[in-house]
């Protein structure tokens, strides 16, 4: 049987490819479990500095697996807390780049938004079409999309179910970079290597601080940032980074 995800480590970067191309990478329980189980140990590995999550050329992921969900009852969904496994993915502390080519719809768009940065191929299409199925986003889409792009665009996408292309997605702040499709993985890998080259405490603190901006008021957020900034002076990487600058050499961060 084909593996639901293909995990390949290249130095400090881990590339994770969703592997149901014939089903447009529809996100079934196997994919959810595999991501949770296989990425957790890598997340704890100090030698891993960044994940790149990607799909196929045609689809990053076309959403939750509709065929798996279609016949479920309310109590099955509720009692199993269906989709709760995705919270494990969202909670990974290592920086995650989503490299999106083709469709990122429903749960696929939500998976991309659980990552820290989204790079889009010029072929990418984003959308939350759940309304067409008689439901609404269920993996955080109504919350994350609204925080990322604002109410106007989020309501437009979620209520009409339409797709937006990479240009619109970049314009409204969902996407960090648009890249020609054939360069997508090279560009995502290069950014991942850059991130993975920094001290892990610093990248973790940077993620936490930026994410905090979406959660709390500015005064609390700035206080949180200041405390993390101060705390980083307890790390060897801060000493190394600043000494390297003063000595006009490249730093060698050891994640300590
Ligand atoms: C299950 C899916 C699927 C999905 C595609 N497939 N998306 N199977 N769940 N989400 C399957 C198709 O059934 C088909 O299987 C095969 O993949 C190829 O799909 P096609 O439609 O033939 O491909 P194409 O014409 O290229 O169109 C691609 C597409 C379309 C635009 C992405 O497949 C599509 O609209 N998919 C559904 C998108 C969607 O509604 N996503 C939201 C899901 S709900 P066969 O066996 O025929 O080859 C969701 C909810 C989150 O994410 C929480 C809510 C509770």
Which CATH number covers residue 210? 1.10.12.10
Q: Do 192 and 210 fall within a single domain?
A: no
Give the residue ranges of DSSP H helices in 162-235: 166-171, 184-196, 200-213, 218-231
Residues spanned by the domain of 88: 5-196
Can 108 be counted among the known catalytic residues? no
Mean predicted confidence (pLDDT) in 183-201 = 98
Distances in whole angstroms, Cα of residue 78 to Cα of each of 72, 82, 84: 10, 7, 10
Q: Do 70 and 96 fall within a single domain?
A: yes
Q: Do 163 and 210 fall within a single domain?
A: no
Contact between 11 and 47 under an 8 Å Cβ cutoff? The reply is: no
Q: Do 116 and 178 fall within a single domain?
A: yes
Beta-strand pair 59-61/5-10: unpaired
Can 130 be counted among the known catalytic residues? yes
Q: Do 48 and 147 fall within a single domain?
A: yes
CA–centroid distance, 251 to ligand 1, in Å, is: 47
Quick check: ipTM above 0.90? yes
Confirm whether 46 is domain-assigned.
yes
Contact between 99 and 53 under an 8 Å Cβ cutoff? The reply is: yes
List, for residues 126-140, the tens digit of each pLDDT value: 999 999 999 999 999
| Residue 15: closest CA among 228, 196, 233 | 196
With tokens 């299409």, the residue in question is 125
List, for residues 44-84, the tens digit of each pLDDT value: 999 999 999 999 999 999 999 999 999 999 999 999 999 89
Q: Which residue, by CA, sits nearest to atom 40 of ligand 1? A: 129
Can 215 be counted among the known catalytic residues? no
Q: Do 122 and 238 fall within a single domain?
A: no
Can 64 be counted among the known catalytic residues? yes
Q: For residue 78, what is the domain's CATH number? A: 3.90.226.10
Contact between 82 and 72 under an 8 Å Cβ cutoff? The reply is: yes
Q: Do 176 and 242 fall within a single domain?
A: no
Confirm whether 187 is domain-assigned.
yes
Q: Do 133 and 222 fall within a single domain?
A: no
Q: How large is the C-alpha radius of gyration of the chain?
A: 19
Confirm whether 108 is domain-assigned.
yes
Judged by phi (left if over 0) then psi (alpha if -120 to 50, else beta), residue 255 lies in left
Please give the tally of structural domains in the chain. 2
Q: Count other Cβ atoms within 10 Å, centred on residue 50.
A: 26
Question: Could you give the percent of the chain with pLDDT greater than 90?
Answer: 98
Instruction: Spot the catalytic one: 108, 110, 188, 202.
Output: 110
Q: Do 149 and 225 fall within a single domain?
A: no
Q: Do 101 and 225 fall within a single domain?
A: no
List, for residues 150-162, the tens digit of each pLDDT value: 999 999 999 999 9
CA–centroid distance, 143 to ligand 1, in Å, is: 23
Contact between 94 and 51 under an 8 Å Cβ cutoff? The reply is: yes
Q: Do 139 and 213 fall within a single domain?
A: no
CA–centroid distance, 59 to ligand 1, in Å, is: 10
Residues framing ligand 1 (Cβ under 6 A): 23-24, 26, 59, 62-67, 103, 105-107, 129-130, 133, 135, 137-139
Instruction: Spot the catalytic one: 107, 108, 138, 140.
Output: 107
With tokens 């998976």, the residue in question is 111
Contact between 19 and 6 under an 8 Å Cβ cutoff? The reply is: yes
CA–centroid distance, 137 to ligand 1, in Å, is: 15
Confirm whether 77 is domain-assigned.
yes
Q: Do 49 and 101 fall within a single domain?
A: yes
Where residue 2 falls among pLDDT bands split at 50, 70, 90?
confident
């Amino acid at each position: 049987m084909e593996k639901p995800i293909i995990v390949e480590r290249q130095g400090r970067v881990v590339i994770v490819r969703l592997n149901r191309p014939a089903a447009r990478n529809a996100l079934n329980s196997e994919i959810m479990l595999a991501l949770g189980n296989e990425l957790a140990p890598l997340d704890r590995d100090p030698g891993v500095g960044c994940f790149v999550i990607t799909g196929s050329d045609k689809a990053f992921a076309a959403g939750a697996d509709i065929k798996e969900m279609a016949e479920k009852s309310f109590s099955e969904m509720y009692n199993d807390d269906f989709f709760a496994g995705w919270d494990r993915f969202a909670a990974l502390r290592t920086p995650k780049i989503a490299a999106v080519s083709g469709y990122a719809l429903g749960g696929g768009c939500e998976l991309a938004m659980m990552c820290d940065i989204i790079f889009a191929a010029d072929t990418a299409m984003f959308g939350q079409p759940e309304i067409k199925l008689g439901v609404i986003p269920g993996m955080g889409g109504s919350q994350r999309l609204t925080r990322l792009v604002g109410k106007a665009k989020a309501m437009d996408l979620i209520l009409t179910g339409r797709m937006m292309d990479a240009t619109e997605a970049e314009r409204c702040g969902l996407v960090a970079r648009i890249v020609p499709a054939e360069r997508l993985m090279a560009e995502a890998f290069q950014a991942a290597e850059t991130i993975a080259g920094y001290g892990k405490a610093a990248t973790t603190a940077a993620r936490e601080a930026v994410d905090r901006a979406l959660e709390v008021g500015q005064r609390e957020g700035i206080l949180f940032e200041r405390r993390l900034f101060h705390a980083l002076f307890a790390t060897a990487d801060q000493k190394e980074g600043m000494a390297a600058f003063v000595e006009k050499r490249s730093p060698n961060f050891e994640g300590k």
